[in-house]
A and B are shown apart, each in its own frame.
Chain A
Amino acid sequence: MTLTPARPAVPRLVDQFELGLDAPICLTWELTYACNLACVHCLSSSGRRDPRELSTEQAKAVIDELQRMQVFYVNIGGGEPTVRPDFWELVEYAVDHQVGVKFSTNGVRITPERAQWLAASDYVDVQISLDGATAEVNDAVRGRGSFDMAIKALQNLADAGFQDSKISVVVTRENVRQLDEFQELADRYGATLRITRLRPSGRGADVWDELHPTAEDQRFLYDWLVAKGERVLTGDSFFHLAAFGDALPGLNLCGAGRVVCLIDPVGDVYACPFAIHDTFLAGNLLDEGGFQKVWQESALFTELRSPQTGGACTSCSAFDACRGGCMAAKFFTGLPLDGPDPECVKGNSEHALAGDRTVPATSQDHSRPAAVVLGMPGRPTSIPDRFCNESPL
């Protein structure tokens, strides 16, 4: 058997990944745009349910197809996926069809009973979102009461004997100095800490300037990961920090459309969960040929898998590790896709960020009319006292 000539004979995995795989390995599936919260930085601008949301039967057909394509696991998110009335049914269906599930939740439906059910099921991973190690910091971005809700969920899981839940943190200027406290929280609940990058996607675009880590914070974060990050999950979040020195563990490339993609609640397939925009829409899986056809044949994904130019980054000494950073971060800050990341640690995007740039208009938004306004820690946010005021539950 011979290798396809386009592929180097002694493959580096990253090089292989850049050419794409027959099926994604980091597939995110957002089951609903409905959410009981209204976090200021929501990457999918969630809030209201989309009336075109996939039905239970359609969702099961997607799972059947993922099984055929040997997608071994899927990251389910939203919105708040657990508010779908058929959520647990779909989880069960996926697991029964060799598609493992990791789902992200704010904890709203993780009751003691549900925690027991989860503890008894194999191949289900639970990830609780928390964006501050204290209620003050967390609730300023996620809304009042959301810290307590998340902690309750973690407690219920621990009490039920659920092994190795995840605490998922979006690193911001406000919480980056709390990394040790997050790790302590994780240890307390027998959980693994996962930290991800704040991208200017969805409503994140509105708060990115105020919330994204400063240059100093990025250095702190890098040093923390090198010193203490061994047990911490990061996905593909911080490979742009590799320009500080050594590459960090994790996926060290932008996998958008190559190994990563997103299925949204209406079946639209995007290159990446952080790229919900018409520019990165590859197709809809309800069209003929289904998800497989979109993944394997769409013009957009074919383009993303073709050799890319590094543009202004090519001459950078860190290019091999950093590869110009995150496509979505560049796009939503109005920077050229073949130039440096807006958080380039060598400062090579400062000029472009300061200059004339046009931030792309959003192409879809499911926010509820009164979303949270970013509150300073300790100051009441504009969220209503009963934060489920306009909740779709």
Chain B
Amino acid sequence: MTSFDPHAAWRRTPSVVLRPEPFGALVYDFGSRRLSFLKDLALVRVVEALNRSASALAALQVAGIAEADHPRYLAALRTLASAGTITPRQEAIAS
């Protein structure tokens, strides 16, 4: 299980794709062939923002998540990290 550090850089795992749906997104991992769901449109924005953000916290900003909601979204990201949907990103952000 990957431990989740909100100050670190994360990304959507390369074998994972998100398919937008009215309620959020379908998540499919071509590696494990597992289908799961993001039941929240804002969480979809957060996950999509990870790749271009310096940290998970920064991604919450980019996605416009209100401060008060941060704990909820960080908890969701922690779950996604343990499921392998998102993984730590090493390379620096070109910006």
Contact = CB atoms under 8 A, between A and B. Distances in A.
A331 to B, nearest CB: 28
A72 B28 contact: yes
Interface residues of B, number: 17
A123 B23 contact: no
A72 B39 contact: no
A100 B26 contact: no
A100 to B, nearest CB: 6
B26 A123 contact: no
Contacts of A7: 22-23
Contacts of A4: 22
A1 interface: yes
B33 A100 contact: yes
B39 A123 contact: no
Given A13-B37, A13-B39, A123-B30, A3 B22 contact: yes
A73 B33 contact: yes
A3 B41 contact: yes
Nearest to A11: B23
Residue among A70, A98, A100, A125 facing the most chain B CB atoms (10 A cut-off):
A70
A137 to B, nearest CB: 31
Contacts of A98: 17, 30
Interface string B16-42: 010111111010101001010101011
B79 to A, nearest CB: 16
B21 A72 contact: no
A300 interface: no
A117 to B, nearest CB: 19
B20 A22 contact: yes
A372 interface: no
Contacts of B26: 21, 25, 70, 72
Nearest to B24: A11
A70 B30 contact: no
Interface in B72-95: none
B30 A100 contact: yes
Nearest to A123: B30
A11 B42 contact: no
A158 interface: no
Nearest to B39: A11
Interface string A59-103: 000000000001011000000000000000000000000101000
Q: Which of A16, A98, A100 has the most CB of B within 10 A?
A: A16
A21 B33 contact: no
Contact of B22 (A16, A72, A100): A16
Given A25-B35, A123-B30, A70 B41 contact: no
Given A16-B22, A25-B35, A100-B33, 10 more contacts: A3-B22, A13-B39, A21-B21, A22-B21, A23-B19, A70-B17, A70-B26, A72-B19, A98-B17, A100-B30
Interface of A: 1, 3-4, 7, 11, 13, 16, 19, 21-23, 25, 70, 72-73, 98, 100, 123, 125
8 shortest interchain CB distances as A-B pairs: A72-B28, A70-B19, A16-B23, A11-B23, A1-B41, A4-B22, A21-B21, A11-B39
5 contacts: A13-B37, A16-B22, A16-B39, A19-B22, A123-B33
